[in-house]
């Protein structure tokens, strides 16, 4: 049985990937040591998802390893060897703000950890496909230099601009902009992944995600805005919007749609390929629009405040142009729009909060 190795396997994308590939008949080996609990505390812990995967998936095995641990990761890859057909590297420190607190931790997890995974793939299973979950933050704050127009509930790029119809494509520079330290560490991993594809001819694919979301997201204040927004609405926790009058725009892609894109790439990999991958014009919203939809679905008002202080390197407007991927893999399409995404998150978050006794009255 072919093996898929997934890092960050208990997180949003990792767990969705584990379930998807298990359903496709692969043996799934998950690597996750719940660093997210260290990053974000109880809100971010993924222990619940680890237990769920172990319960639900017959051919799933879990390893609580740190992706920075070259010896431990090397030992696992050596044991699994060339049975590994696919590596999906989804483990990361994912927050702008957190990266500035512990720059060494952020960089070693995101950059050094990616190097370990790439090198172990090259040494022990060089025919495997390697997929890296990168981020649109590799573009830094360059999108903020676009001609933006303020509307009643959102910022929008000018209708005369080439990005208006489809969003931002892969030709945007990743140079000469403020990235945040998180963005910089992800740039390092992003470029490493490309280089292993181009220099060593590994079958690497880099997916620069917009906002990745879904019901399995352990949303925390510093990461996973839709999941955390719903959690605050249902639990009565206060929510803070940072900057831009709450009109900043994000495209949102359901974890299933992203993982389905991974699957298509795995069937016919293009070494060194890079794709912007998000909700595109199909699924996007501003913070204010997200709050309005969430309040309607939850049947209660969100207790939120607007802060004038924007996060360093944050985007005012981001919508991904996914046409490059669609051109290379025309059979891929979206299953989820924004409304369906929110409905699933509300239902799943409500069930978890009720079980934990944290649902607001």
- The string of pLDDT tens digits covering residues 68-110 is 999 999 999 999 999 999 999 999 999 888 999 999 999 999 9
Rg (the chain; Cα; Å): 19
Residue 21, pLDDT above cutoff 70: yes
Hey, how many other C-beta atoms are within 10 angstroms of the C-beta on 205? 28
pLDDT in tens, 177-212: 999 999 999 999 999 999 999 999 999 999 999 899
The least confident of 28-32, 95-99, 153-157 is 95-99
CA 208 to the chain's CA centroid: 9
* Residues paired with 30 in a beta bridge: 6, 62
Average pLDDT over residues 153-160: 98
Tokens of 76: 């696992």
The least confident of 69-83, 176-190, 216-230, 265-279 is 216-230
Domains and CATH numbers, the chain: 3-356 (3.40.50.720)
DSSP 110-145: IIIHHHHHHHHHHHH-TTSEEEEEEEGGGGTTGGGG
Q: What is the total residue count of the chain?
A: 361
């Amino acid at each position: 049985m072919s093996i898929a190795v997934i890092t960050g396997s208990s997180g949003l994308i990792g767990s969705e990937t584990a379930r998807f590939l298990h359903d496709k008949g692969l043996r799934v080996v998950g690597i996750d040591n719940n660093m997210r609990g260290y990053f974000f505390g109880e809100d971010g812990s993924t222990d619940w998802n680890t237990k769920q995967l172990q319960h639900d998936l017959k051919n799933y095995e879990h390893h609580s390893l740190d992706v920075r641990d070259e010896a431990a990761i090397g030992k696992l890859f050596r044991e699994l060897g060339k049975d590994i057909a696919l590596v999906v590297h989804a483990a990361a420190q994912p927050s702008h703000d957190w990266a500035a607190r512990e720059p060494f931790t952020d960089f070693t997890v995101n950059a050094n950890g990616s190097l370990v995974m790439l090198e172990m793939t090259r040494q022990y299973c060089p025919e495997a496909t390697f997929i890296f979950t990168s981020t649109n933050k590799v573009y830094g704050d360059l999108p903020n230099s676009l001609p933006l127009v303020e509307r009643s509930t959102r910022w929008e790029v000018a209708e005369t601009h080439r990005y208006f119809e489809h969003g931002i494509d892969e030709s945007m520079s990743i140079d000469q902009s403020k990235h945040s330290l998180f963005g910089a560490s992800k740039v390092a991993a992003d470029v490493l992944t490309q280089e292993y594809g181009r220099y060593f001819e590994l079958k690497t694919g880099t997916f620069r995600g917009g906002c990745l979301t879904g019901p399995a997201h352990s949303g925390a204040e510093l990461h996973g805005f839709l999941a955390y927004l719903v959690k605050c609405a249902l639990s009565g926790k206060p929510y803070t919007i940072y900057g831009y009058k709450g009109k900043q725009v994000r495209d949102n892609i359901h974890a299933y749609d992203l993982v389905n894109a991974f699957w298509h790439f795995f069937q016919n990999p293009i070494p060194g390929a890079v794709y912007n991958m998000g909700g595109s014009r199909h699924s996007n919203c501003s913070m204010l629009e997200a709050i309005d939809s969430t309040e309607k679905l939850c049947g209660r008002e969100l207790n939120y405040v607007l802060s004038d202080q924007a996060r360093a390197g944050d985007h005012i407007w981001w919508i991904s142009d996914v046409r490059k991927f669609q051109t290379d893999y025309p059979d891929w399409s979206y299953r989820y729009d924004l409304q369906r995404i929110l409905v699933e998150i509300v239902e799943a978050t409500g069930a978890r909060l009720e079980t934990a006794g944290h649902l607001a009255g």
